[in-house]
Amino acid sequence: MKLHLITGGAGFVAVNLARQLLKEGQAILAVDDLSRGKRELLAGFEQDPRFNFRQIDCSDADALSGAIDEMGARVDHVWHLAANSDIPAGIADPRIDRDRTYQTTFAVLEVMRRHECSELHFASSSAIYGDLGDQEIHEDIGPLQPISNYGAMKLASEAQIRAAVEAFLPRADIFRFPNVIGVPATHGVIVDFIRKLKATPDCLEVLGDGTQQKAYLHVDDLVDAMLHISRLDGRYKVFNIGPQDDGVTVRTIAELVRDRVSPGARISFGTGNRGWIGDVPRFRYSIQRLATTGWAPKLSSLEAVSRAIDQIASEEL
Amino acid sequence: MKLHLITGGAGFVAVNLARQLLKEGQAILAVDDLSRGKRELLAGFEQDPRFNFRQIDCSDADALSGAIDEMGARVDHVWHLAANSDIPAGIADPRIDRDRTYQTTFAVLEVMRRHECSELHFASSSAIYGDLGDQEIHEDIGPLQPISNYGAMKLASEAQIRAAVEAFLPRADIFRFPNVIGVPATHGVIVDFIRKLKATPDCLEVLGDGTQQKAYLHVDDLVDAMLHISRLDGRYKVFNIGPQDDGVTVRTIAELVRDRVSPGARISFGTGNRGWIGDVPRFRYSIQRLATTGWAPKLSSLEAVSRAIDQIASEEL
């Protein structure tokens, strides 16, 4: 038996990836320290004999290595999704991104070296680019100046992986995620807005002036792109993943959530076009490289937002 | 009294920087864990009341913070030079670059936040660029794909610093060092060749075919550039530092060392144009950005190599 190892295995993307891999007949070892991931998200898989879960902090190489040994199966594919996903928390305390993003990558690479795993699939982020103004953001652009510790530690992880490919690792994919939405939702602007409106149904308060515009990808499209990229040739592959449009403004998201959740509510905007430190106001994300490989998302940013609002509202209300 | 903090304070560059800062009337707190730095390099300063040394591992934020407290003086300028400098060692064991390069930067930033230090001057490296082929390497180029853990952890350090500037740090300079030579020499190709010829005076064995070409800067020019950049305006300044030429081949260095140390010796070359993993064969390094600020090195690569061979041979023989 061959196993796919998924770190951060009880998280939002991991659950969707696992579902797809199981559909394709693969076996899975999912690990998660459950600091942010939730065991109940795995409820649908627990009966499946091809799905295995271990509660492990994957920044501990020995623990992770031991979990693989216990399975008695070879691991070729490692999907490294474990990371801190709370950007403001990591700005307040840089240890969070160091320990959960940088160090998990470090330990995963050590374990892959020890177990001679052949392919690493890494969830990086558009946050590695920082604020490049109005330029179109393609994969080879510079300079890379991440403005959050989250982005900094994703870039630090990419750098480690690149050096590992030079030294010992046969293959690696770098997926530079956009904002990803869908269910099971754990955080993000849609969840925030829905919860705020549940608490105060007459008014939705929005950080910033609502003009921030971002591209959003539905998690179904994301997983589809990850699997597509993993099957392309190449030793070290770096891809932006995202929709082929300029995105949706915060104002539009606020209005769509309001219409779905609490149609009569007033929306109150703040000032400035940054919601918080580490948040880039506008972002032109090129997925030209991915498009030339024949992949396209099924949903636009607006369609993804609309579907996700529907899905999350059904979960939350 | 105001202090300049120098981490890696008993290393090659630090000693040269300290000498210049003392000349300019500054006071210094130099810290070094002496894992690679050498106490005896500081012999010339020990009588100077403005020079203070503490044996500390600066990856330990509490220890570093305590050393500053003990001095009872304000630190505005931090020159962060501590790092692993042994590239092959870091490829064999990635923990070395993590602990000595990545984590020292992490701790230095934590200490600067605690003590409200205002300026970080960071010794980064041309190794962050990886192998970009024949392109001219300017500061804004992409993609950044370091091929050694050394380069990866320097890039990871830059990323941390950039995020810190966004969050709390008033000013930072990033110096992307080239190959730097001079005395007191601790490692590098010139030292290697001289020591090899001391051991076997009739033959100098060279890794690779000798066609590798690199730019070299003399440490006197390096320190001059660092001080120059530190006085320029700007919150976050990134500069390549190097000579304004295409560099010198390994073959030329081997011949110059042979002529100085053991004129009759045979030089035996290997094959291939890479000496070791993580070594980039050819490198066109642009210092246009620095040149436009009015700085130029006093020595070319060839002049720097010639002077350094003379200086190191005097030390070693």
Distance separating alpha carbons of residues B98 and B209, to the nearest angstrom = 32
Residue from the list A143, A159, A160 with its beta carbon closest to the beta carbon of B238 = A143
pLDDT for position B106: 98
**Cβ–Cβ gap A130/B238 under 8 Å:** no
pLDDT for position A278: 59
Mean pLDDT, residues A59-73: 97
Distance separating alpha carbons of residues B189 and B94, to the nearest angstrom = 22
Distance separating alpha carbons of residues A140 and A128, to the nearest angstrom = 12
pTM: 0.93
Q: pLDDT over 90 for what percent of chain A?
A: 85
Selection from B4, B63, B59 nearest residue B30 by Cα:
B4
Q: Which residues pair with A249 in a beta bridge?
A: A213
For the stretch B64-112, pLDDT in tens is: 999 999 999 999 999 999 999 888 999 899 999 999 999 999 999 999 9
Residue B43, pLDDT above cutoff 70:
yes
Ranges A96-100, A124-128, A159-163, B205-209: which has the least confidence: B205-209
Structure tokens given for B182 = 């001079």
Nearest-Cα distance to chain B for A106, in Å, is 8
Residue B280, pLDDT above cutoff 70:
no
In one-letter notation, the amino acid at residue B229 is: I
Residues from A contacting B (CB-CB < 8 Å) are: 91, 94, 98, 102, 106, 109-110, 128, 130, 139-149, 151-153, 155-156, 159-160, 162-164, 166-167, 236, 238, 277-278
pLDDT for position A276: 56
Collect all residues of chain B within an 8 Å Cβ-Cβ radius of residue A153: 156, 159
Domains of chain A (ranges, CATH numbers): 2-177 (3.40.50.720), 183-215+245-283+299-316 (3.90.25.10)
For the stretch A250-267, pLDDT in tens is: 999 999 999 999 999 999
The helix/strand/coil state of B205 is strand
pLDDT for position B278: 60
Q: Mean pLDDT for chain B?
A: 94
- pLDDT category of residue B165 using cuts at 50, 70 and 90: very high
Nearest-Cα distance to chain B for A108, in Å, is 12
Collect all residues of chain A within an 8 Å Cβ-Cβ radius of residue B234: none
Selection from B163, B35, B34 nearest residue B105 by Cα:
B163
Chain A residue with minimal CA distance to B278?
A: A166
pLDDT for position A4: 98
Collect all residues of chain B within an 8 Å Cβ-Cβ radius of residue A152: 156, 159-160, 162-163
For the stretch B167-222, pLDDT in tens is: 999 999 999 999 999 999 878 899 999 999 999 999 999 988 998 888 899 999 99
- pLDDT category of residue B317 using cuts at 50, 70 and 90: confident
Residues B108/B161, Cβ–Cβ less than 8 Å: no
Match 């990419």 to its residue by tokens: A158
